[in-house]
Every structure is written in structure tokens, then in C-alpha cells.
Amino acid sequence: MKWLFVALACVALSEGFVRIPLKKTKSIRSRLREHGVHLPYTDPALKYEPYRSLASSVIQPLNNYADTTYYGPITAGTPPQSFQVLFDTGSANLWVDSTYCNTQACVSHTQFNPKESSTYYSNGETFYLPYGAGSLNGVFGYDMVNVGGIVIKDQQIGLSTSEPGENWVVAPFDGILGLSYPSIAAGGQTPVMDSMMQDNLLQQDIFAFYLTANEAEGSEVAFGGVDTSKYQGQIYWTPVTAETYWQIAINGFLINNQATGWCSSGCQAIVDTGTSQLTCPQQYLGYLMQSIGAQANQNGGYMVDCSEVNNLPTITFNINGVDFSLPPSAYISEENQNGYEYCMVAISSTYLPSQNGQPLWILGDVFLREYYSVYDRANNQMGFATLA
């Protein structure tokens, strides 16, 4: 504000400020405008809500756990309690471990304590959430939630009361932040992204993901904009075909640039940051593994000879007329156990078709590590771009 006082001093000296009767004194804004200084307009009411987030865009860093899980920090409550959550485009609810839960999965993670938040309240509504890796029960509440500096008041948040099974015990995160459409939210709850949109907290009603490979640092999710340093060239857009998950159409599938015809009558795909692998429609999995030269193991997975990885085929999805290819390095996972190196195919099967009966793929992290992905709620479309 140093420039403001200098400008005011110049006004006072040039116009004999002390001799002007008080009732005729012009406003500071008027005097500065006469001298070519224009103050931007600000809403005086903002001082009453110092915690309010103005429309913005933020980049939230994410942790990469074993190339299978991408999670990052949020806070909830007043004063804020911190949690690590999985940012999941394959679900719609926000929930965290809580002190209401005494199962092993809960007590081994950070737990939200509603009694320690002055802004928490609840009507006691309960929920059940099924996931591919497990399920949980909980109770819905409302509280302040901060995601990357974007503050949401009265955000609906689930507090777990029971998390059975081992999968939640070994999970590196304390909860899940769902980013799909509100139509699939349990209990008709409002997802975090929808709260941001309703409160006009974002410059643009979009978010975007950059996922690293080989457990490298640098993964991120951007809200309200895109990180242009993470991709090159243009973003190729395709419409969302069902406002449930982030579902899009697949127009063709190629193996080593040869069309398979599997999607000649149409396929669908769900773009899911919460699924680590790429999944293939069950009726095509055998053909795909045969073309890769993979052999089934006793655990239901598929393996290849590690010395042959560089000779394996490139597989390609045609999305809205644009080809998006995955080299073998993208879908082969090299692992080491007890000094023995082996190579797993990070592709599994999808047994359920899409809602319209077309074959359904899931473009999980195997695909998303190869492309920058943009999720546009304003226009109900998805975008992909080549990594920088």
C-alpha cells in the first residue's frame, strides 16, 4: 500500500488539502482517479468472512503409493483436522475414518473427532458404501472442508462407523474424496466438486490429473484450471455419455495399429483414478492376452517373459477420432519377490457391461499415467493431452 500513501501526499500538496472544508472533501477513490490512479473494486462484505475462498484455481500435490494409489491431504473441521484421502473419479462421496469406528482399519489411521470441531453438525443419517476393494458403514455430517486452500462451508462428509476386512487396514489413506457425478452419491449427498461449483469457488468448473509412474513424486490434481506445464499440444475432448461416472465412448481398439473390430458397434469406458489397472471387457480378455503372449498364473493374473517386454504390442484406444496408445511399458509391471523378477500384465477383466449393454472398459491408472486428463463439468466432457 506504499504507493497509495505517496499518491495521497501528492494530492494534498497540489491542492492545498488542509484548506478544503471537510464537507467538500472528495473521496480517496475520486482524488486518485483524477490523478490517473484507479483502485480495483472490492466487496466491503469480504471482511466479514475472512475464511471465504474467492473463485480460484489450485494445484494439490498427490502421493504415489506403488503406482496403485494416488492420495493427498485435506482438512476438515474447526480447528482443522488433517487427513490423507484418495482422489477418486470413480465414486462421488467424501468420507474419512472417524472416532465412531473401532475396527482395526479405523484405529490404524487418522480419525476425525467430531467433538473437537466447533463447526460440525449431523442429523444422524447413516450410509453404506460398496467399493471394489471393500465396503464400509458410516454416518453423514456437515463441516468445513479445505482442499488445497479452497474452503467449503457445510460440506457433507461421511464418518465411518465400521470398516470390515483387510483392504482398508493396509490402505495408505484415511478416506476417499469422490469426484464423479452427484447422481451416484450415496444418500443423495453433494460431492465436493459440486459444492465448489455451487459456491462459485472455481475459476472454471473443471479439474485435472497428472499421475506419475515408477512411484515418482510430482503427481497432482488441479481444481479450477489445468496445469499447462504438465502437457503439450492440444487437449482432445470427448463428450460424457452418462452423467454418473466419468463415462465416455470408445470408437475403436487396435493392437499394433491393427483394428480388432471389438468396438465396431460401440464400446464404453469409465475413466477412474481409483482403479489401478486397465480393465478389458471379459469377452475380449482371452484374445488380448493371446496377442500379448501372456500366460495365466495360479492367482488369476497374467504374466509375460520379462526379456520379451520390448517386443510386446502397442495397444490403442480410438476416442472421438483420436488414437491414444499404450506401449508395453505402460501395461506391464515389473516386480521382484525373493530375488526373482517377474513381469505382470496390469490388465484385468470387466464382467459387467455398460448401462446401454455395450462392452465396458475401465481406463484406470495404467492409462492415466500416459496422458494428462481433464474433467469438464461445465460442458460435460473429458479431455486428454500428451504429457510434456
pLDDT at position 32 is 46
pLDDT at position 38 is 46
Same fold, 58-210 and 228-387: yes
**Residue reference for cell 504429457:** 387
Does the bond joining 44 to the residue before it have cis omega, within 30 degrees of 0?
no
Low-confidence ranges of the chain (pLDDT < 70): 1-54
pLDDT at position 34 is 57
How far is residue 181's CA from residue 188's CA, in Å, rounded to a whole number? 11
Distance set, CA 234 to CA 190, 230, 239, 318 (Å): 32, 12, 16, 16
Catalytic residues: 88, 272
pLDDT at position 138 is 97
pLDDT at position 284 is 97
How far is residue 324's CA from residue 278's CA, in Å, rounded to a whole number? 14
Class of domain 228-387: mainly beta
Enter the pTM of the model: 0.85
Topology of domain 58-210, per CATH?
A: Cathepsin D, subunit A; domain 1 (2.40.70)
- Domain borders along the chain are 2-41, 58-210, 228-387
pLDDT at position 35 is 54
